[in-house]
A and B are shown apart, each in its own frame.
Chain A
């Protein structure tokens, strides 16, 4: 039982390049979330999903796209990376009963856009 796994752990991109961050969970959780955390700041919600095939916007969705084609995976895409997207990205999941269970977070993807 690996919990929430994020791939890759580190990445350096050039401005304008695209990439996809993968979040995988093996806990059969319904809900999945993507957050970003800038240096010295709190976490901000980018997009989230309450079930396979569904996605919704969070606080800071611009410049990102997501897909939840399989229940266990939640992908975060950057179509044209910008230096402002340099951040640590965290994925989280929840079994779908947020009143009784907390979120489980991954260990993060550290992205630098130069």
Chain B
């Protein structure tokens, strides 16, 4: 299982872009990078995933470095509702093992 490393917590001002980093230096060639978030007391929510190329959807953008050893999740215009724990995961098979994630605080 590719180990991922994320900062414990981050702050971001409301309306600004939130950039959440993740290191996955042991990731193998066929392991995808997934991002989920968990808003207080709710079930985790899938955000985005990618393999090599950068990805964008209605929620966020995912930037993966060329060597695939790290990635950044970008929330382009953070709102107070984006306050949550964000998990970066690189599962080797059909089950996801969650780490501690990054607690993102959006400041008004």
Contacts and interface: CB of A to CB of B under 8 A. Distances in A.
Contact of A42 (B34, B91, B98): B98
Contacts of A102: 34, 36, 46-47, 49
Given A98-B91, A99-B32, A102-B36, A59 B97 contact: yes
Contacts of A74: none
Given A99-B32, A102-B34, A90 B43 contact: yes
- Where chain A touches its partner, the secondary structure class is strand
Contact of B95 (A33, A99, A107): A33
Contacts of B47: 102
B53 interface: no
A59 B32 CA distance: 21
A102 B96 CA distance: 10
Interface in B29-79: 32, 34, 36, 38, 41-47, 49, 51
Interface of A: 4, 31, 33, 35, 42-45, 48, 50, 58-59, 88, 90, 92, 94, 98-99, 102-108
6 contacts: A43-B38, A98-B96, A105-B43, A105-B44, A106-B43, A107-B42
